[in-house]
Structure 1
Amino acid sequence: MAHVIDRDKWAEAPDRWQGELQCGPFGSRSCLIFNYVPGIGGGPRLHKHPYAEIFIIRSGIGLFTVGDREIEASAGQILIVPPGTPHKFTNLGPGPLETTDIHENGSFITEWLE
């Protein structure tokens, strides 16, 4: 059975593609995060997951810390973080950073390291 999930069920603000959705209840082994990071330096602190995470950079430029590497990624690029790897990212500016993050699990499991 296909599921259609309306924007008001996952979006944090009606005018932004920002929010998150755990897809396990709909039969999927994935979760989605639609990030909108407006300010330079904004982004999540260091954390890891027991599954891979895929970042699709939709606009802007981000500095991703993945393990002991720093990777600058920009609109149109895709970054895949392996399971168990500590990671975080920050918006380098000058404008907003927008990403779609795909977690390879039906519910979020996050261990915060900072």
Structure 2
Amino acid sequence: MIRRDFDPDTVMPDGRPPAKGMVFDPKAEGAWRGSLHGEVINGPVTVLAYGNDTPGQGPKLHVHPYDETFIVIAGRARFFVGDDVIEAGAGEAVLGPAGIPHRFENLGPGRLQTIDIHHSPRWIQTDLD
């Protein structure tokens, strides 16, 4: 399949060099394995790695002033986003819109692993629980 979504001649590079940063240490223990703020690599998003092995466990209810996209890498999760409840499994993504309180939990059995994309160069959060 050939894609041609835009004309490359219409986009001018902004002068930023390529960059690399560590999101998480693969050997790290615990649920919050790491994060990479977009400002570290001059990018527009912050990336977090989260995972746990305990059904019912997950982050506390919180809110951000920007959108957050959750990508389920392994396992199954139940997301509580405002008044909505969404179940998602490996390969699926869920959007938490800006200003809407949200949380998620491992549905089990086994490990839940997510990559959480904060649509901000910095991680900004207010915990509500």
User: TM-score surpassing 0.5?
Assistant: yes
1:88 aligns with 2:103: yes
- RCO comparison, higher one (Cα < 8 Å, 6+): 1
Residues 20 and 41 in structure 2, CA contact (< 8 A), matched pair in contact too = no
1:14 aligns with 2:19: no
* Corresponding letter in the other structure for 2:20: V
Taking the TM superposition and a 5 Å limit, the aligned residue runs for 1:1-114 are: 1-5=17-21, 7=22, 10-12=23-25, 14=27, 18-114=33-129
Deviation of the 1:18 alpha carbon: 2.9
Q: Distance in 1 between matches of 2:71 and 2:24?
A: 18
From the CA coordinates, give the structure whose radius of gyration is larger: 2
TM-score, with length taken from structure 1: 0.89
Identity of aligned residues (%): 37
Q: Distance in 1 between matches of 2:27 and 2:45?
A: 23
Deviation of the 1:78 alpha carbon: 0.7
* Corresponding letter in the other structure for 2:65: P
Q: Distance in 2 between matches of 1:39 and 1:19?
A: 19
Q: Which has the higher strand share?
A: 1
Q: Distance in 2 between matches of 1:33 and 1:11?
A: 8
TM-score, with length taken from structure 2: 0.79
* Deviation beyond 2 Å, 4+ runs, structure 1: 10-18
Local SS of the residue matching 1:18: strand
Local SS of the residue matching 2:18: coil
Q: Return 5+ residue gaps in structure 2 as ranges.
A: 1-16
* Corresponding letter in the other structure for 1:112: D
* Corresponding letter in the other structure for 2:27: P
Q: Return 5+ residue gaps in structure 1 as ranges.
A: none
